[in-house]
Amino acid sequence: MDITTAFTRYGRPDRQYCFAYASNMHPEQIGARCATPRMVTVARLSDHTLAFFGKNRVWDGGMETVVAAPGREVWGVLYELTFGDAASLDIWCGARLDGGGVYFHYPVRLLDASGGRHAAVLYKKDVQGPPVPPSREYLAYILSGAAARGLPAAYLAQLKNLSAAPARYPVPRAGGIARGVLQEATCATCAG
């Protein structure tokens, strides 16, 4: 199923479908970043694994992405977003239309727990460099969101066993100017 087909599958051509596999799974975080995110289902991305690279200044550790890994899978949450919410999430995630951001939209095909197929985009890190473990605090936040969304117990155990390092400063740290402005104007009270 391609992305265009996904628009009609759910009956909403005015929506974007986004697969969250890390901190955006957390109900509190997605609620603060988007006015009306709708969780469609828990789903998995086959032949990929969760990995961390670069520097996440908010959480003092590596930044999440997915990388190809035959036989592995990444579980997460499929959201239906308005295009306004998708644009807000792009700013929060550092994804830019010109491709110059930290992340870019990566089209994927997902399977839900019942075997249903879904098309979506996810945020994929553009430049990886050497692997950098996430902070323990960030991994705990990701795990909290995954548990809150009902991801499979075996996957929660896999997340819990990922390598992590303690943060060297209090986290989460406030983001940059654009994120700070968005943080003050939380989408939790916006009207779609």
| Angle formed by the axes of helices 83-93 and 177-184, nearest 10° | 140
What's the CATH class of domain 16-161? alpha beta
Binding-site residue numbers are: 138
Phi then psi for 17, rounded to 5 degrees? -110, 120
123/88 Cα distance (integer angstroms) = 13
Q: What does the block give as tokens for 42?
A: 């828990």
Q: What's the distance, Cα to Cα, between the start and end of the chain in Å?
A: 27
According to DSSP, residue 78 is labeled E
Query: What Å distances lie between residue 92 and 33, 34, 102, 149, 181, CA to CA?
Result: 7, 10, 11, 21, 11
Domain ranges in the chain?
A: 16-161
Q: Determine the 3-state secondary structure of 125 from DSSP.
A: strand
Binding-site residue numbers for substrate are: 138
Question: For strand 61-82 and strand 38-56, is the pairing parallel, antiparallel, or unpaired?
Answer: antiparallel
Taking a C-beta distance cutoff of 8 angstroms, is the pair 102, 63 a contact? yes
Distant-in-sequence, close-in-space partners of 11: CB < 8 Å, separation ≥ 6: none
**Within 1-61, where are the H helices?**
3-9, 27-33
Instruction: List per-residue pLDDT tens for the chain, 192 residues long.
Output: 555 555 555 557 789 999 999 999 999 999 999 999 999 999 999 999 999 999 999 999 999 999 999 999 999 999 999 999 999 999 999 998 887 899 999 999 999 999 999 999 999 998 899 999 999 999 999 999 999 999 999 999 999 999 999 999 999 998 654 444 444 445 554 544
